[in-house]
Every structure is written in structure tokens, then in C-alpha cells.
Amino acid sequence: MPQLTLQADPNSKSLALSPQKSTSRASSSNTRAIHTSPRGGGGDIAKRKAAYTKKGDEPNLWELHHIQEDMAAINKKKHFKDGPDAKGESKGQPDRGTKREHSPEGGGVAGARETKRHKNAYEIKGKVATYEDAARTDEDPPLDQLTRLLENGQEDVPKGDCVVYWMRMEDMRIEDNTAFHRASERAQEFGVPLVVLFVLSPGDYKIHDRSTKRIDFMLRNLRYLKPRLHELDIPLHIVSYDRRLSIPKRLVNDVFPSLGAKHLFANIEYEVDELRRDIAVVKLGREKGMDVRCLHDRLIVPPGRIKSQAGKPMSVFSPWQRAWAKLLAAEPKLLNLSPSPKANLESVKKDERFAKLFDDEIPDSVEGFECAERKQIAEIFPEGTETAKELLRRFLHTKPRKTQFQIVSPLSEGAQESKKESRVSQYQTGRNLVDGDNSSRLSPYLASGVISGRMVLDEAKKYTGGKLESGRDTGVGMWVQEVSWRDFYNHVMSTWPRVSMGRPFLEKFADVQWEVNEEHLQAWKDGKTGYPIVDAAMRACKARGWMENRVRMVSASFLVKSLMLDWRLGEKYFMESFIDGDLAANNGGWQWTASTGTDPQPYFRIFNTLTQSEKCDPNGDYIRYWVPELKNLKGKAVHDPYHQMPSSEFKKLGYPAPIVDHKKSRERALFRYKNVGEKEDGS
Ligand SMILES: Cc1cc2nc3c(=O)[nH]c(=O)nc-3n(C[C@H](O)[C@H](O)[C@H](O)COP(=O)(O)OP(=O)(O)OC[C@H]3O[C@@H](n4cnc5c(N)ncnc54)[C@H](O)[C@@H]3O)c2cc1C
């Protein structure tokens, strides 16, 4: 199979125009705006404009959009100077009126407060948006901008020679796919072929910290889809652009005209960069007389639908979740599945322009994202919607299996059918255990859209005789609640995009003082902290690209509260490692853990790693499997060998001693959260 190499993109000079390097953090966020200076200045913008003019480049709307946005920000400087009203808001429901508050929560504004400012590890690498940049983005979130743009649709667009559905790496399925279905309807109405477009964008993958496992999973799913699309005589057209900012222009100027396409359909991705890209596509497309439709599909309830009684967005999960369940009861059509797309006429192959697309090759790998463990990962997470459906079926109808946390196929034989003792029926307790397949393992499939949230809840509904349960008193109800967390964190990210720009939701914690300790960071990544449950989880993460929820929380908490390392370092590492890496969920999980997020774990509640270990892995099987140095230990010693064994015996294990003392590190964390901006030694 061919290997994808990065293509130079002559049309994308716009990248060179920005003097600020975009960063992986920016990725999901604000590529040009992320820098360490606390006050982004107009000088940068003037330079960028000058560079833009000097190069005599054709207008690139996306870049212009960024520049205009910055200009607008300067004009609004007065507005920002005073900082947000620290008292004005009730918890989690900032004003979303015409003049939005930019600090979601009272309690201090990073950068505005005079604190002893120590550079944090992450900031040194230039990964965190300034308070102002984030505030500006929150004030008029890109999703709102896109929505406004789409409200004034393009009228009377000629039908063109085909309709294009642009499949993204988050909606890789044929069934229940809103944009695919609507594109198919339009193609049928016009009597023209439907083409599926997939854009490979290594530049995006780099900047967005994509893992090799996730990119490989994406390619495997493309390979799964291609023959299924061909059965419908629908070609899968693959293009590749390394320079992500050039994508709108390349598609609108080159790809769509070459296909004679006037109508484009896509599902919305809620990350800031992706929204900005789509805004540019809509604008550029309209300039060329195209009709571009961006549709809600990813979530069960589209962002913005759930508001408090006062009409404000909600940031506390429990009331939000109740409103979510109430809305689904009132509008069950939100759960309706879209019909699958119809086949093209076979004559599509008579037109040379479309015929050749059937030969488009899916690369074996993307340069820079070769997955060394591909075979193993493909065994643990086989691709395809049919697999996802079978995993869901097994979760609902078969018993948990103790060996399923290992490197084994989830489709292996031996799963015993049982409704009464099925995994979902035991989910209330099972979800906190790591020594078996107690949860669904569907996160990679949901993150890549191989199966939809609606499809998943449709089965949950069937399981309970047609009524969707979402209360905590049954296993299935509790599981549905977990699925709603996915919606919730996407709502949060769409409403307060600041969270995806390296900013804490609670700005009052922006200046918590982190340690800068590369050795500790590396020990955490390598699973060599001397805390067995953390080490087991981190080694499992490396081997499988996946972790059970409980150990995601434990290992994240260990990084933040025990090692006192910046949560953004952990967030980035998880994204770079996970096959299910998803910005909204990952950021939500990290900000919860770091006590900086919406509805977070209070900062004074610090996980005791040892207690957590004994609860989530009661027999120590998970630890023994993933940390072979401890495989022969009996009883409780496996959770805490350093303290439970004579030192001479411990030394023989070849396993590290704990790199921090739990009690001392706990006190340190409490001090630093309580006294933001300070270190306990006054340094
Ligand atoms: C620090 C941290 C980082 C995380 N990073 C990610 C990530 O990158 N991608 C990701 O999909 N999940 C992430 N999660 C959430 C959660 O850990 C995983 O979704 C879950 O472990 C996946 O296992 P499962 O599919 O068996 O889940 P199940 O328990 O079977 O739940 C079903 C589905 O609900 C959704 N879900 C469950 N819990 C959450 C949650 N807390 N937040 C959002 N969605 C949820 C997932 O799509 C999941 O597949 C993170 C959690 C933490 C604490």
C-alpha cells in the first residue's frame, strides 16, 4: 500500500503570514492567538497585515478573518480593561446576553491580578492562549458565528454536476449520518451523483496532538468504508493537504470545481479551529456560488439547546443532565436515526470525472503517524460500524469477562449471554472497576463517529422496552448518563471555547503554581512513578491507547495533585496517546481533575492513590498484568510494595520507589490551590 507523504501546498502562503507559530494546543483552539505574552498587542497584527500585503497573496478569508477578529479585539480593549465582574454571576451561568462575560466564574482574572508570576512548564512552550484571546473567543463563539452565517442561506444555487458530502474524522459511518443522508436526498432530488470527500490533513493531526493510534484507526475505518460505499456506487474521494489553513481555499478553488459540485454537506465539528475552517469554507464557497450546509450530528442534543430557566447556558452537570433527559422525553425525534444514503446510478462510472475517483487510494499510513503497534491495536479495537454494534450488543447482553483488560480482542469467543448479569446491568459498580470489560469500550467508535450517539441510545432504549432510562438507579440509566457527559462536554466547549484554548474554565485557578520537573513527567508517562495503579494505567495507555475511566481519573489526579504538574501537559499526552482522543471529553476530564473545570472535583478533594487502587483493582490483577515487576506479589502488597515489603525484598523487584510522598504532596497541592500564585516556600 502506498504511504502518504506530506504535500507542499503552494497555495497556502497564508501560513507563513502569521508571525506566531501555531502550536499543538492552539490546535483545537486558536492557532494564531496563542502566545505567552499576557497582553496580545496590536503590533503583531500590524506585522501580520504587512506581511500579508507584501506577499501579494490572494485574499485568504480564513487568515483575514483572524486578522479582522484581532482588530475587533483591539477596538474592544476598553471593554476588556476592566476585567469581568467577579461577583455578577451565579455559578456556571454566565451572562450570554449581547455583552458576554468572559470569565465564566468569579474569583479573579489571570493576568489582571498582580501575583508573583512563575512561568509554568506548559506556558514556556507557548501553548496557552492569553486571557484576552480566550475571552474574545468566548464572547462570540465560533459556533455562534457559523450558525449566524448559515441562517442566511444561499438561494437558487444551480444543481451542479454532483453533490458532495464531506466526511470528517468524527463521522466515519454510513448509517445515521445527518449530512450524508441530507446530501443523498439532495443528490436524488437533482438526479446527480453523490460523492464522499475525505480530506487528510497531517498538519491538523500534528497541531491537534492526534495519536498514531487514532490516525491509524481513521485509516482502517476508511478502508472499511470504501467497499461499502462502492457497493452503493458512491466514490470515496481522498485528498490530502498538509497545510491545514489552506484547506478551505484548496477545496473551493480546486476540488469542488473539478467535480462540478455546487452543493456541499458536512456535519459540524465543534472545536474552534474546525469551526473557523468551516466558516471560511462557507464564505469562500458562497463567493463561488456554492451552497454549503453544515449540520448538527455529533451529539444527541445539539449545543445551545439546553438552557437554564433564565435562558442561560448551564455549566453544572446534574441540572444540565436533567434538562437533557427532559428535552429528550419532550422531543423524542432527537433520537431518530437518519435513513442511510441511497445508491448512485451505475452510470456514475461513465463520467470520467467520477469514474477515476473510485480508484482513489487510502494510504497505508500518514507520514509522522505510522502506528508501530498497529496489529495489536487492530486486535483490541477492530474497525467498522458492524464491530461497534457487536460491542454494544455484548455490553448490553453478555456478562463481564475478567481477562478483557488485557491485549485481547473484544470479539473473542466466550462471552456468555445474560440479560440479568450483563455488563450494563452491573454498570453501577462495574464502571469503577478496571479488572475486566465492565464498560462498553465504545469510546474510540464514538469519538471517530463509527457509531453515533443516537444509535447507541436507540439500543439502550430497546433494552428497556422502548423507554430511555437515564436515572442513576439502574445500570442502563447510569450508562445513559455517562453517554450524556459526552454531549455535556461538547456543550461546554461550544459555549466557552476558552476551555479548548489552554485556559481553565475557572480563571481564578489560572495562576496555580506548577512544578517544572521533566523527570517526574517522564516517570508518569513511562509508568515508573512507584505507585502501581498509576504505573499500570500509564503502561496500559501506551500499549492499548486506551484506559478505563477510573484510572484515567486516578492517573490524571496523580499528575496534577501529587506531582503538581500542569494539567495541560497531561491533557496533551493523553491526546497524543489515546485511540479515542477527543478534545471535549479529554479537556473536560482534565479540568475536572485539576479542579479548574465546569462542575469540577473541589480542589481540596484529593484522590488517595492507594485507596483508589484497592477499590478499582481489588485483587490486583490489573496491576500484575501491566506491571510485570509485581506479577508475583500476593495480597495487598501489590498496591503498595514499597511500604508493605522489607526494603531488601523490595529492591529485588526492580520496581521504582514512590517518586513523591502522598501526604506531603497533598499538603503542597492544598497550599497552592488555596494560595493561587504562591509556593509554600515563598519562592
Ligand atoms: C482525564 C480524562 C481524560 C479523558 N479523555 C477522554 C477522551 O479523550 N475521549 C473520550 O471519549 N473520553 C475521555 N474521557 C472520558 C472517559 O474516561 C471515557 O469516555 C471512557 O473511559 C471510555 O470508556 P467506555 O467507552 O467503556 O465508556 P462507557 O462507560 O461505556 O461510556 C459510554 C460512552 O460515554 C461517553 N463517556 C463516558 N464517560 C464520559 C466522560 N466522563 N466524558 C465524556 N464522555 C464520556 C464515551 O463516549 C463512552 O464511550 C476522559 C476522562 C478523563 C477523566
Complex prediction ipTM: 0.99
Residues with CB under 6 A from ligand 1: 431, 439-443, 446-447, 482-483, 485-486, 489, 548-549, 552-553, 556, 574, 578, 580-582, 585-586, 588-590, 593
Q: Are 14 and 53 in contact (CB under 8 A)?
A: no
C-alpha cell at 674: 488555596
CA distance 179 to 341: 10
320 is catalytic: no
Q: Is 440 annotated as a binding residue?
A: yes
482 is catalytic: yes
The C-alpha cell 474524522 sits at 169
Pocket test for ligand 1, best of 318, 437, 482, 541 (most atoms within 8 A of CB): 482
Among candidate residues 189, 231, 361, 482, the one labeled active-site is 482
Q: Is 442 annotated as a binding residue?
A: yes
Q: Which residues does residue 236 pair with via DSSP β-bridges, in sequence order?
A: 196
496 is catalytic: no
CA of 683 to the centre of ligand 1 (A): 38
CA of 585 to the centre of ligand 1 (A): 7
pLDDT of residue 78: 39
514 is catalytic: yes
CA of 645 to the centre of ligand 1 (A): 35
Classified as helix, coil or strand, 535 is helix
Q: Is 335 annotated as a binding residue?
A: no
DSSP H/E element including 239 = strand 236-240
Q: Are 157 and 263 in contact (CB under 8 A)?
A: yes
Q: Is 488 annotated as a binding residue?
A: yes
Classified as helix, coil or strand, 613 is helix
pLDDT digits (tens, 9 = 90+) for 371-427: 999 999 999 999 999 999 999 999 999 999 998 999 999 999 999 999 899 999 999
590 is catalytic: yes
Among candidate residues 324, 567, 592, 626, the one labeled active-site is 567
pLDDT of residue 432: 96
Counting atoms of ligand 1 from 1, which one is nearest the CA of 444? Answer: 11
Query: What is the residue with the minimal CA distance to atom 29 of ligand 1?
Result: 439
CA distance 565 to 522: 11
CA distance 13 to 57: 7
Classified as helix, coil or strand, 281 is helix
Query: What is the residue with the minimal CA distance to atom 11 of ligand 1?
Result: 443
CA distance 527 to 535: 4
CB atoms within 10 A of CB 631: 13
For residue 474, give every residue at least 6 positions away whose Cβ sits within 8 Å of its Cβ, in sequence order, or none.
425, 428, 464
Low-confidence ranges of the chain (pLDDT < 50): 1-43, 45, 48-118, 124
CB atoms within 10 A of CB 239: 16
In the chain, the domains with their CATH numbers are 14-141 (no CATH), 153-298+336-358 (3.40.50.620), 371-495 (1.25.40.80), 515-674 (1.10.579.10)
Note the pTM of the prediction, 2 decimals. 0.87
Q: Are 366 and 205 in contact (CB under 8 A)?
A: yes
Q: Is 422 annotated as a binding residue?
A: no
CB atoms within 10 A of CB 654: 9
